[in-house]
Amino acid sequence: MIRSMRPVIIAANWKMNTTPADAGELARVIAARTREPGVVRVICPPFVCLAAVCDALSGEPVDVGAQDVHHEAAGAYTGDTSAQMLAGLATWAIIGHSERRRDHGESDERIGGKLRRAVEGGLRPILCVGEQLEDREAGRAESVVSTQLAGALAGHAPEALQRAGLVIAYEPVWAIGTGKNARGADAAAMAEAVRSAVRRTGWTDDQVADLPVLYGGSVTAANIGEFLAEPSIDGALVGGASLKPDEMAGIVARAGLTANARRGEPAPS
């Protein structure tokens, strides 16, 4: 299912890298080198760097996101960060990243709670789903992703999620930092499987057609074209390459071509 006017989104997930001393300058450099009309740019630094990145991006049309959000609004949760705490620091939030699932044992139910708090807190959520290598090799990839989506979206009104600007990021866990690479066709097939799974949770065809789906799995300037050539892919959640201005410049430049094409503009000669 294709909607030519879905936004093209490039979200940078800096993971546990940078410090308040250097994050602002990195954000400034990336912002200056990725000014592509029509591309939604989001930088998600560590929590301790959010203020520095916000200050650095003042006046730049680049959004700031958090890498996580707690599933409760407040309480005795030492070391955690609620959606309310992010007010003024972030407008997006990554929910259910594979590393959170792996390292913190986050269940689909817990991720659904985080999604709820993000929406309540006015954060635009990027909900991550994806299968392990053994799941793909056993032919369970679509089933695993469908189960993750059903669990995370349970109890959420489609209209509320659509108003919040829900974005789904498909990240094949087996293609993240392993040297194994997904193909554009693999990502496109899973993007359509994602939309089918979301439809089964109660979304209408029109709502599903407007749902942005990103690819995230060792994205680089060299391979982004293969994924953005697929009409069902609307951008990327970028990990390690998002710390490198040259890589980000190449990724966003290619995303700009896709954005232009969706607006019906001719490619530059």
**Ramachandran category for residue 177: left, alpha or beta (phi over 0 → left; psi -120 to 50 → alpha):** left
Which residue among 97, 131, 226, 247 is the active-site one? 97
Q: Annotated catalytic, 171? A: yes
CA distance 58 to 262: 28
The 3-state DSSP class for residue 142 equals: helix
CA distance 226 to 265: 20
The 3-state DSSP class for residue 259 equals: helix
Which residue among 36, 171, 226, 247 is the active-site one? 171
> DSSP assignment of 1-28, as one string?
---TTSPEEEEEE--S---TTTHHHHHH
Per the CB < 8 A criterion, the answer to whether 128 and 94 are in contact is yes
Between helix 108-120 and helix 141-153 the angle, nearest 10°, is: 50
The closest alpha carbon to 235, from 224, 244, 246, 243, belongs to 224
Q: Annotated catalytic, 97? A: yes
> What is the Cα gyration radius of the chain?
17
| Residues classed as catalytic | 97, 171
